[in-house]
């Protein structure tokens, strides 16, 4: 331990032991415990206690003092646990009988303090920490702790009850690992007494008629099979499985959630390799539980790596049941075999669906969510009933929108329950989106698109439902197959687009900003993927969507403006926004670049400005036509605007843009000889577009850097960087009060310096007056006075300054978390002492 | 208790309730859907409408071609539009004592009832209902009267001829009762019969029943009514709303414990949520205007328009529509906008509090101030000078058969840039548009009906728990177009009783009690005797006076003292003789003790038999039988009066007298 901390420790212990000086902040105690844990992990606890006797004194004092706060008591119990985790230290504390006094009947356990949940929790955590060696087991036996833990399982505080269960598992594991390790047989009769006692308790609880006790036992067992991997767990299951199976005979099955958790935990453990009976129990459970309870179990079974096919089929059947019932109820006429191969829907599931709205909604949402989770997994059941599932999802959506016209009685009642139910609509749309990963028969896909269109059109769709509908539509559109031999969209998709765009148009005018926002997001995504497809371009340009999107740059809601910025940026990248200026209003059609620059300079909210920076970075990277005209001027204007921005993310994005520009001038990071590199060599025109035909706008890639920055030496590149005032921006950012900005700038300058070193630096200007003044300014900036501008910089001066700044040192400092100074233990101890002192001063002030 | 159903329209009801000797008319709605069968009345000469071909029968007979015109496959009556009146033959309307009005839409038939049926009673309504109702009537009369039409078609109404006509004319019901619009004079006369009431005000009707209006949350001053006597309560729920719009919220609590709840005026579009429809309205409006098109909103001059203007007030800036003019054209536009601002006490809490700031409760005041909203009595005059396109026009009538809307339909119908947005749910938009076909302008249907939907009704009924629900038959089954939607009907236990036009319903409801007052001096003279703890009895001898449906027990007159000599009989002497009454008996006879008493008094050989109603005590020796039942005791002995009296006295020992 740090000598300074050792020096402070006695005073701190005195403060902790003094009930008149309450510790105001609980987190200090937690930090203190963390620190002691670190210290004891690094060295001997015994030595620590011997060198700092105040700690043992504190523990003794706690025992004697009557009026200590419960938090100090709890803290002391946990502290004792940390020390006693090492066996020699445990023995040392035992000499003074300290541990039995702390954890036995004589301690807080028997006193009034026990009523505080914090004390009970501290007691459990203390024991949990110290129970690391056989001696601890003897202590537990001696002070009858296990019985207390049993009773704490039913504690009124959920934290205490849960910790008690975990402690039991830990003790059981320790007992079984202890002296008998290696030879502990699965036969329960040989088990140590402590383990026997716990297992008997679990057995009793499993047989109890009180559900809470059954739940406790099941939860303990779930943890056992989840965390303990010894052979003995197999023996434990052999011993307990009949009792677990007996639970299934009860109606209703008690603690079904916990039972499902346990069975899945056992199934994932090593037990199934030795006990095939487990599969039978699982099968029985599946058939005994109600449809709602059985869902999570079925999903768990299907996620298992290896389990018998029959059980998997049964489990899949359980998951499919609700949807099968819906399909059957809504069927107009007996059609092809549905989800369950023509078998009728389970009457119990139908009952659950019809008994109440909440039960119906709950069951359907779970079924849809479970199947949605299963869909992308490699171990999903095969064959996967894609077509009936599509049919079911569409039917559920139609029932919810009221557009289904079921003829059966059950269908009518389902319709009445589900109509307008947003929760089911959202779940079904998510599921439908997940199903887009698989193909489907033409007829089903047509139905999918028609139901999606219905939802997108319906005025009754809430904003959340619409968002999901947009997402599902996007997934289906992107997964729709390409026409063979043709790189354009297939005719069906084009037809759909023609219907979709007027809907999107209307949604962009919605009075609800969430709807406008999700409409724009959808448009952005669609354009990103299809901007180059002739069919899409044609349909989009024929609609008013691009014009409306541009108008939304003035939206009153900042999120919408941000999305509009991204969308227009994307549209413009693909040349989908360039409507010619109308002859009546010359000049009215100003370039989007100017508009976005205006947003960057004038928007009062951060989101749109961040979006602009992202769009600009993308434009620069992809060589957008407006940018390629004069990239130097573009970068200069953007950096100037970004440097003044109050939002650190905008400034950070500015650095990102600067980095892209650097990359274009000097070659990307990691390339070896980039001195004379200019863009044409790094990325020939169209190369990027060829490599990523759908990801980047073709033909818009910069042809070359403008004449101002021809391929040449590093010096020329630096000239360009100086002209765009990139250095002023980067140096300012280097001393930014927001760490990520400073870090990014540091990286950028390091990159630049490394490039320069590789290529041989330009003419040095080491001790010119310019350099000195720059350094002086930078020092002032570092001190927080950023008002003064840097003025025009010569490349030589820049390089000199770059070398003179300790960028590596700065990077290391920045890499430390901002509170690294405050986090030291010494600071913690000082703070705690100071806080008490401050409390005292405040009291004095009161007089 | 009977309910006479005079209207078949569920949202424009007209029912008569006979309850405790009073005859109460509940609303008098006017079904205007009949006007859809007529050609529109254009404000400006329309060559298209005047050149429509006459209709002739299949055999070429063209005798109806002056009355009926054909347009895009539909046949219309070329005459002044007529309205379908409530049933006038089912009950003598001159016997109606009072008319209770729930909202301004449900009083449009009032002049027909009060002016032409011999009605002499009173009409009760709240002040906003009367004022806005007057505006609606004034607008209607104005719309019709300013386009005088020489021709009045009646030939087609002949039953034999009507059969030959194409649908929907062929299927039009009760055409013989269709009438032309009333005059302003009739309106004024009808409105003069209205007595203003406030929410929760109790109004006595002839001492027999009390009626009370309650806030129904649907429109300014809209009410539901409680009609109750001391022991019976009938609730009349007409157009009501639970949504937070401009009116005061609905008073549900006062509807509790009703014996009968008459439920009318639910939403006409149960599948359309008003909020979604407002969203749809705004989106389509913005979309049209941004594309340089005009928007036409056919509407009533009051009601939803206030909420729409409020939504637009919040929306136009965000949608970039600040420079677009909004025009509200109606002969009563100005009054409607101003009236809405002065009925503070009838508004929802939010709007009420604004008045104290002080601010106008509705933001349309600001729209008018900033010139964003302009209102005109008609398209003639100032409007034509100010008119600027693209614009948004709110104007009537929603049927598209009369009013300034006809002009805009003719003007804008040919361009697909323009849009007509239907927000009023009273008319089927396709039928409304039929005489304007073929139409290039876009049509959007966003019916905004804030009245209760079936889910809300179901919650309401669970909350107020009436014994019986009575409603129009349309509410007891799903709408014909959505016959499987079981959620679109009233679901309650016991099932709701339904009615249809011209039906008389005996309400399942028996009156059991009547309240009678006792005069204090009579009450003073009573000597109650406690029969069992908490129950005291006293005999009352009194005279029952009944006047104005109030019953009072008064002390009986003293027996007339012979005044000597004068034999002249006076009316006041004509009172029944008050005989000295035998005391009344109460209590029960314990059989065992009675038998013991009999034995003590020397009777022997006594047998007791149990019967269904009590016991029979047999005195075999005396050949006598005593029948003891819950409410009677008979001593049957053979002509032995002495024995009977002895036995009677023994029985009486067990009973109390008073």
Give the Cα separation of A289 and B374 in Å (integer): 67
Do B21 and B81 reside in the same domain of the chain?
Answer: yes
- Which residues does chain B have within 8 Å of residue A417's beta carbon, measured at their own beta carbons? 487
pLDDT digits (tens, 9 = 90+) for B415-453: 999 999 999 999 999 999 999 999 999 999 999 999 999
* Cβ-nearest to B283 among A419, A510, A554: A510
Q: What is the mean pLDDT of residues B333-360?
A: 90
Residue A789's pLDDT is 72
With cut-offs at 50, 70 and 90, classify the pLDDT of residue A677. Answer: very low
- Domain endpoint, select from B402, B430, B445: B445
Distance CA B113, CA B99 (A): 10
Task: Assign A181 a pLDDT band (cuts: 50, 70, 90).
Answer: low
Q: How far is CA A341 from CA A396, A440, B101, in A?
A: 19, 17, 61
| pLDDT at A220 > cutoff 50 | yes
B290 shares its domain with B249: no
Q: In this complex, do B319 and A509 lie within 8 Å of one another by their Cβ atoms?
A: yes
User: Average of pLDDT values for B637-653?
Assistant: 87
Contact B282 A506 (CB under 8 A): no
Q: How far apart are CA B247 and CA B241, in angstroms?
A: 9
Mean pLDDT of A681-699: 37
Q: What is the mean pLDDT of residues A231-254?
A: 88
In sequence order, the β-bridge partners of residue B499 are: B472
CATH for B288: 3.40.50.10890
Cβ–Cβ gap B485/A402 under 8 Å = yes
Query: Is residue B625 domain-resident?
Result: yes
Is the minimum CB–CB distance between A454 and chain B shorter than 8 Å?
Answer: no
- What is the per-residue pLDDT for A354? 82
Which residues of A are less than 8 Å from B283 in CB distance? 506-507, 509-511
Check residue A333 and give its pLDDT: 61
Question: Best interface-test mutation with B: which of A511, A545, A548, A556 has the largest number of B CBs within 10 A?
Answer: A511
- Is B543 contained in some domain? no
| Residue B254 sits in the same domain as residue B298 | no
Cβ neighbours of residue B222 under 8 Å, at least 6 residues apart?
B102, B103, B104, B126, B129, B215, B216, B238, B239, B240, B247
Q: How far is B190 from chain A (nearest CA, A)?
A: 42
Residue B367 lies in a domain: yes
B494 & B381 share domain: no
Q: Where are the alpha helices (DSSP H) in A724-768?
A: 726-734, 739-759
Considering the domain boundaries, does residue B280 fall inside one? yes
Interface test with B, best of A459, A517, A549, A584 (most B CBs within 10 A): A459
Asked whether residue B484 falls in the same domain as residue B380, the answer is no
Q: Which domain range does residue B622 map to?
A: 585-657
Q: Are residues B327 and B424 in the same domain?
A: yes
Which chain A residues are within 8 Å of B277, Cβ to Cβ? 459
* Residue A698: per-residue pLDDT: 43
- The pLDDT value given to residue A486: 61
| Confidence (pLDDT) at A668 | 64
Q: How many CB pairs under 8 A join A and B?
A: 74
Residue at token pair 């720059």: A774
Residue A343 confidence class, pLDDT cut points 50, 70, 90: low
- Is B308 a member of any domain? yes
Is B94 found in the same domain as B44?
A: yes
**Alpha-carbon gap: B448 to the closest alpha carbon of chain A (Å):** 12
Nearest CA-CA distance, residue B355 and chain A, Å: 27
CB of A697 closer than 8 Å to CB of A574: yes
Question: Which of A415, A417, A554 lies nearest to residue B484, judging by beta carbons?
Answer: A415
Residues of B in contact with A511 (CB under 8 A): 278-279, 282-283, 311, 314-315, 318-319
Q: Which of A260-269, A357-366, B428-437, B608-617 has the lowest mean pLDDT?
A: B608-617
Cα four-point dihedral sign B321, B325, B330, B334: positive
Closest approach of B238 to chain A, Cα-based (Å): 25
Question: Measuring CA to CA, how many Å separate B475 from each of A829, B272, B481?
Answer: 76, 16, 14
Residue of B nearest to A560 (CA): B318
Question: So what's the pLDDT on residue A274?
Answer: 72
Asked, for residue B526, whether it belongs to a domain, the answer is: no
Residue of chain A whose Cα is closest to the Cα of B488: A416
Could you read off the pLDDT of B229-241 as tens digits, one per residue?
988 999 999 999 9
Residue of A nearest to B289 (CA): A509
Q: Is the pLDDT of residue A702 over 70?
A: no
**pLDDT mean across residues, chain B:** 90
* Domain assignment present for B630: yes
Q: What is the pLDDT of residues A426-473, one digit of tens each?
A: 999 999 999 998 888 888 999 999 999 999 999 999 999 999 999 999
Who among A417, A460, A509 is closest to B287 (CB)? A509
Cβ of A460 within 8 Å of Cβ of B272? The answer is yes
Q: Do B279 and A512 touch (CB under 8 A)?
A: yes
In angstroms, the separation between the Cα of residue A504 and the nearest Cα of chain B is: 11
Q: What is the mean pLDDT of chain A?
A: 83
pLDDT at residue A44 tops 50: yes
> Domain check: are B219 and B342 in the same one?
no
B487 pLDDT tier (thresholds 50, 70, 90)? confident
Who's near B498: CB < 8 A, 6+ residues apart? B470, B471, B472, B473, B475, B476
Contact A556 B317 (CB under 8 A): yes
Helix axes A3-17 and A53-64, enclosed angle (nearest 10): 10
Q: Is the pLDDT of residue A841 over 50?
A: no
Question: Average pLDDT in the A631-656 region?
Answer: 92
Facing B320 at nearest CB: one of A505, A512, A554: A554
- Give the best residue of A400, A416, A547 to mutate against chain B (max B CB count within 10 A): A416
- pLDDT at residue number A487: 64
What is the 8-class DSSP label of residue B69?
A: E
Give the CATH number, domain containing residue B634: 3.30.310
Residues of B whose CB is below 8 A from A415: 484-487
Nearest chain A Cα distance for residue B436, angstroms: 25
**pLDDT recorded at residue A590:** 62
Q: Give residue B451's pLDDT.
A: 96
Q: What is the pLDDT of residue B654?
A: 87
Residues B457 and B372 in one domain: no
Complex confidence, ipTM: 0.76
* B60/B206 same-domain check: yes
Q: What is the pLDDT of residue A705?
A: 36
Q: Could you give phi then psi for residue B144, rounded to 5 degrees?
A: -80, -40
Say whether residue A379 is in contact with chain B using an 8 A CB cutoff: no
Min Cα–Cα distance to chain A from B313, Å = 11
Q: A764 pLDDT band (50/70/90 cuts)? A: low
| B151 and B229 assigned to the same domain | yes
Q: What are φ and ψ of residue A606, in 5° steps?
A: -75, -35
Confidence class for position A381, pLDDT limits 50, 70, 90: confident
- Please determine, for residue B285, whether its predicted confidence score (pLDDT) is greater than 70: yes
CB distance from A128 to chain B under 8 Å? no
- Among A733-737, A796-800, B125-129, B187-191, the minimum mean pLDDT is found in A796-800
Decide if A543 touches B, using CB distance below 8 A: no
Question: Is B333 a member of any domain?
Answer: yes
Cα(A227)–Cα(A166) distance, rounded to whole angstroms? Answer: 10
Query: Confidence class of residue A580 from pLDDT cuts 50, 70 and 90?
Result: low
Contact B319 A548 (CB under 8 A): no
pLDDT band at A847 (very low <50, low <70, confident <90, very high): very low
Q: Which of B468, B488, B506 is the last residue of a domain?
A: B506
Q: Is A405 on the interface with B (CB under 8 A)?
A: yes
Please indicate whether, in this complex, the C-beta atoms of B287 and A507 are within 8 angstroms of each other: no
In 3D space, the residue among A218, A216, A281 whose CA is nearest the CA of residue A248 turns out to be A281
Q: Is the pLDDT of residue A579 over 90?
A: no
Determine contact: A579 vs chain B, CB below 8 A. no
Give the contacts of A483 (CB within 8 A, at least 6 positions apart): A489, A490, A491
pTM over 0.90: no
- Determine the distance in angstroms separating the CA of A332 from the nearest CA of chain B, rounded to an integer: 12
B113 contacts B93 by C-beta, under 8 angstroms:
yes
User: Which residue of chain B has the CA closest to A461?
Assistant: B276
Percentage, residues of chain A above pLDDT 90: 43
Q: Does A419 touch chain B (CB under 8 A)?
A: yes
Mean pLDDT of A297-322: 91
Q: Examine the pLDDT at A55 and tell me if it is beyond 80.
A: yes
Domain count, chain B: 3
Instruction: Give the nearest partner residue to A406 out of B271, B286, B484, using CB atoms.
Output: B484
Question: Looking at the predicted structure, is the pLDDT value of residue A778 above 80?
Answer: no
Return the CATH number at B497. Answer: 3.60.15.10
Chain B residues with beta carbon closer than 8 angstroms to that of A416: 485-487
Rounded percentage of chain B residues whose pLDDT exceeds 70: 97
CB–CB contact B283 A407 (8 Å)? no
Question: Is the per-residue pLDDT at B142 higher than 70?
Answer: yes
Domain boundary among B463, B481, B506: B506
A506 chain-B contacts, CB cut-off 8 A: 283-284, 287
Q: Do B287 and A551 touch (CB under 8 A)?
A: no
Distance, in Å, from the CA atom of B389 to the CA atom of B387, rounded to the nearest integer, reads 7
Tens digits of residue pLDDT in B44-79:
888 888 889 998 887 778 788 888 999 988 999 999
Question: Cβ contacts (< 8 Å) between A460 and chain B: which residues?
Answer: 271-273, 276
DSSP per-residue codes, B348-397: -HHHHHHHTTT--SSTHHHHHHTTSEEEESSSSTHHHHH--SS-EEEES-
Query: What was the pLDDT predicted at A101?
Result: 86
Q: What is the pLDDT of residues B106-120, one digit of tens each?
A: 999 999 999 999 999
8 Å CB contact of A460 and B482: no
Residues of A in contact with B276 (CB under 8 A): 459-461
Which residues from chain B sit within 8 angstroms of residue A546, using beta carbons? none
Interface of B with A (CB under 8 A): 271-273, 276-280, 282-284, 286-287, 290-291, 311, 314-315, 317-320, 446, 482, 484-487
Residues B101 and B226 in one domain: yes
Enumerate the residues of chain B whose CB falls inside 8 A of the CB of residue A553: none
Q: Does B484 sit within 8 Å of A412, measured CB to CB? A: yes
Residue A412 near chain B (CB below 8 Å): yes
Q: How many C-alpha atoms does A18 have within 13 Å on its Cβ side?
A: 13
Most confident of A777-786, A803-812, B248-257: B248-257
């Amino acid at each position: 331990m740090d000598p300074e901390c050792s020096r402070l420790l006695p005073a701190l212990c005195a403060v902790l032991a003094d009930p008149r000086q309450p510790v105001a902040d609980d987190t200090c105690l937690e930090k203190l415990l963390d620190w002691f844990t670190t210290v004891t992990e690094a060295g001997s606890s015994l030595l620590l206690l011997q060198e700092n006797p105040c700690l043992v004194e504190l523990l003794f004092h706690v025992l004697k003092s009557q009026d200590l706060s419960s938090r100090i008591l709890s803290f002391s119990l946990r502290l004792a646990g940390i020390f006693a985790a090492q066996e020699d230290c445990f023995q040392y504390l035992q000499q003074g009988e300290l541990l039995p006094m702390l954890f036995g009947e004589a301690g807080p356990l028997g006193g009034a303090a026990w009523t505080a949940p914090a004390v009970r929790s501290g007691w459990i955590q203390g024991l949990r920490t110290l129970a690391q060696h056989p001696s601890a087991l003897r202590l537990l036996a001696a002070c009858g702790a296990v019985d207390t833990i049993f009773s704490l399982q039913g504690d009124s505080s959920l934290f205490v009850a849960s910790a008690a269960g975990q402690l039991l598992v830990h003790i059981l594991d320790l007992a079984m690992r202890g002296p008998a390790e290696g030879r502990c047989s699965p036969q329960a009769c040989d088990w140590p007494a402590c383990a026997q006692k716990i297992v008997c308790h679990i057995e009793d609880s499993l047989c109890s008629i009180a559900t809470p006790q059954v739940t406790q036992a099941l939860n303990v067992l779930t943890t056992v099979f989840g965390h303990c991997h010894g052979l003995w767990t197999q023996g434990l299951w052999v011993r307990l499985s009949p009792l677990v199976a007996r639970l299934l005979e009860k109606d209703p099955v008690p603690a079904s959630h916990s039972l499902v958790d346990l069975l899945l935990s056992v199934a994932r453990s090593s037990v199934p390799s030795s006990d095939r009976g487990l599969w039978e129990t699982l099968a029985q459970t599946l058939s005994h539980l109600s449809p709602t309870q059985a869902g999570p179990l079925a999903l768990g079974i299907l996620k298992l790596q290896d389990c018998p096919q029959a059980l998997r089929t049964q489990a899949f059947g359980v998951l499919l049941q609700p949807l099968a019932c819906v399909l059957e109820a809504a069927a107009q006429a007996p059609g092809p075999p549905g989800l369950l191969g023509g078998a009728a829907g389970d009457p119990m599931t139908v009952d659950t669906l019809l008994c109440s709205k909440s039960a119906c909604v709950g069951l359907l949402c779970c079924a849809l969510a479970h199947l949605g989770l299963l869909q992308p997994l490699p171990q999903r059941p095969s064959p996967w009933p894609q077509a009936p599932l599509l049919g079911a999802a569409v039917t559920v959506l139609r029932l919810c929108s009221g557009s289904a016209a079921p003829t059966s009685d059950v269908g009518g009642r389902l319709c009445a329950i589900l109509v307008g139910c947003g929760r089911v609509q959202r779940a079904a749309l998510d599921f439908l989106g997940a199903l887009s990963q698989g193909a489907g028969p033409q007829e089903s896909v047509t139905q999918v698109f028609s139901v999606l269109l219905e939802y997108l059109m319906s005025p009754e769709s809430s904003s959340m439902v619409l968002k999901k509908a947009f997402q599902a539509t996007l997934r289906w559109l992107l997964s729709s197959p390409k026409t063979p031999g043709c790189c354009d969209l297939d005719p069906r998709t084009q037809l759909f687009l023609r219907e979709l765009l007027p809907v999107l148009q209307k949604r962009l005018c919605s009075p609800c900003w969430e709807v406008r926002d999700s409409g724009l997001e959808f448009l952005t995504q669609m354009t990103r993927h299809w901007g180059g497809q002739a069919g899409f371009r044609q349909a989009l340009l024929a609609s008013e969507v691009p014009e409306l999107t541009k108008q939304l740059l003035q939206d009153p809601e900042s999120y919408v403006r941000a999305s509009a910025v991204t969308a227009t940026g994307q549209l413009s990248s693909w040349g989908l926004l360039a409507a010619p200026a109308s002859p009546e209003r010359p000049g009215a059609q100003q370039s989007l670049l100017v508009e976005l620059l205006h947003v960057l300079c004038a928007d009062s909210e951060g989101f749109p400005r961040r979006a602009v920076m992202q769009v600009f970075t993308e434009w620069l990277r992809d060589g957008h036509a407006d940018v390629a005209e004069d990239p130097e001027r573009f970068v200069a204007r953007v950096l100037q605007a970004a440097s003044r921005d109050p939002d650190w993310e905008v400034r950070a994005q500015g650095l990102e843009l600067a980095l892209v520009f650097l990359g274009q001038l000097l070659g990307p990071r990691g390339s070896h000889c980039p001195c004379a590199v200019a863009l044409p060599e790094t990325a020939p025109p169209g190369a990027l577009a060829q490599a990523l035909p759908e990801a980047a706008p073709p033909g818009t890639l910069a042809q070359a850097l403008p004449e101002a920055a021809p391929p040449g030496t590093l010096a020329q590149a630096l000239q360009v960087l100086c002209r765009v005032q990139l250095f002023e921006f980067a140096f300012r950012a280097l001393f930014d009060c927001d760490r990520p900005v400073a870090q990014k700038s540091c990286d950028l300058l390091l990159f630049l310096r490394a490039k320069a070193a590789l290529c041989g630096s330009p003419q040095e200007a080491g001790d010119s007056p310019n350099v000195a003044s720059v350094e002086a300014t930078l020092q002032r900036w570092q001190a927080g006075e950023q008002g003064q501008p840097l003025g025009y910089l010569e490349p030589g001066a820049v390089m000199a300054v770059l070398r003179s700044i300790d960028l590596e040192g700065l990077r290391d400092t920045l890499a430390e978390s901002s509170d690294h100074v405050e986090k030291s233990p010494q600071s913690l101890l000082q703070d705690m002492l100071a806080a008490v002192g401050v409390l005292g001063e405040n009291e004095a002030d009161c007089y | 208790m009977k309910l006479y159903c005079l209207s078949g329209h569920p949202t424009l009801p007209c029912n008569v309730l006979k309850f405790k000797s009073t005859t109460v008319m509940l609303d008098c709605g006017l079904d205007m859907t009949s006007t859809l069968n007529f050609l529109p009345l254009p404000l400006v000469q329309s060559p298209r409408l005047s050149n429509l071909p006459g209709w002739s029968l299949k055999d070429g007979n063209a005798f109806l071609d002056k009355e009926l015109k054909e347009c895009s496959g539909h046949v219309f009556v070329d005459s002044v539009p007529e309205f379908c009146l409530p049933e006038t033959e089912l009950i003598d309307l001159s016997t109606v004592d009072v008319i209770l009005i729930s909202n301004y839409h449900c009083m449009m038939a009032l002049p027909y009832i009060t002016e032409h049926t011999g009605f002499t009673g009173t009409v009760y309504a709240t002040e906003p209902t009367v004022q806005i109702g007057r505006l609606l009537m004034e607008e209607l009369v104005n719309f019709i009267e300013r386009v005088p039409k020489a021709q009045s078609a009646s030939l087609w109404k002949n039953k034999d001829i009507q059969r030959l006509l194409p649908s929907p004319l062929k299927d039009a019901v009760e055409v013989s009762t269709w009438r032309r619009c009333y005059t302003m004079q009739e309106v004024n006369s009808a409105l003069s019969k209205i007595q203003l009431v406030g929410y929760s005000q109790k109004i006595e009707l002839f001492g027999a029943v009390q009626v009370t209006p309650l806030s129904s949350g649907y429109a300014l001053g809209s009410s539901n009514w409680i009609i109750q006597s001391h022991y019976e309560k009938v609730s009349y729920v007409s157009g009501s709303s639970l949504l937070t719009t401009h009116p005061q919220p609905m008073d549900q609590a006062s509807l509790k414990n009703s014996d009968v709840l008459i439920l009318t005026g639910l939403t006409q579009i149960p599948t359309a949520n008003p909020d979604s429809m407002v969203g749809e309205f705004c989106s389509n409006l913005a979309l049209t205007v941004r594309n340089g098109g005009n928007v036409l909103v056919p509407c009533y001059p009051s009601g939803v328009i206030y909420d729409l203007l409020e939504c637009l007030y919040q929306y136009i800036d965000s949608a970039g529509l600040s420079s677009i003019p909004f025009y509200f054209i109606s002969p009563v536009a100005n009054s409607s906008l101003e009236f809405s601002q002065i009925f503070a006490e009838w508004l929802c809490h939010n709007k009420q509090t604004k008045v104290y700031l002080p601010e106008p409760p509705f933001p349309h005041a600001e729209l008018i101030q900033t010139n964003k909203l302009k209102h005109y009595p008609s398209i003639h005059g100032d409007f034509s000078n100010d008119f600027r396109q693209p614009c948004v026009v709110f104007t009537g009538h929603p049927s598209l058969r009369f009013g300034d809307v006809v002009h805009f339909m003719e003007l804008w119908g040919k361009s697909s840039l323009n849009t007509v947005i239907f927000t009023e749910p009273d008319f089927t938009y396709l039928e409304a548009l039929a005489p304007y076909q073929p139409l290039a302008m876009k049509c959007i249907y966003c019916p905004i009906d804030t009245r209760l939907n079936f889910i809300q009704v179901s919650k309401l009924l669970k909350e107020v728990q009436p014994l019986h629900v009575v409603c129009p038959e349309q509410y007891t089954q799903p709408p014909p177009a959505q016959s499987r939607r079981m959620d679109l009907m009233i679901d309650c236990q016991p099932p709701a009783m339904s009615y249809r036009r011209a039906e008389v319903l005996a309400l399942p409801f028996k009156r059991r009690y009547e309240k009678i007052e006792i005069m204090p001096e009579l009450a003073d003279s009573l000597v109650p005797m406690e029969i069992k703890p908490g129950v005291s009895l006293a005999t009352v001898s009194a005279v029952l006076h009944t006047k104005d449906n109030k019953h009072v027990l008064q002390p009986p007159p003293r027996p007339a003292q012979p005044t000597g000599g004068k034999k002249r009989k006076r009316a006041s002497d004509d009172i029944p003789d008050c005989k000295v009454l035998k005391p009344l008996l109460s209590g029960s006879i314990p059989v065992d003790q009675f038998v013991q008493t009999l034995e003590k008094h020397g009777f022997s050989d006594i047998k007791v038999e149990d019967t269904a109603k009590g016991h029979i005590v047999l005195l075999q020796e005396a050949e006598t039988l005593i029948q003891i039942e819950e409410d009677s005791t008979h001593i049957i002995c053979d002509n032995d009066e002495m024995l009977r009296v002895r036995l009677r006295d023994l029985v009486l020992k067990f009973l109390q007298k008073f």
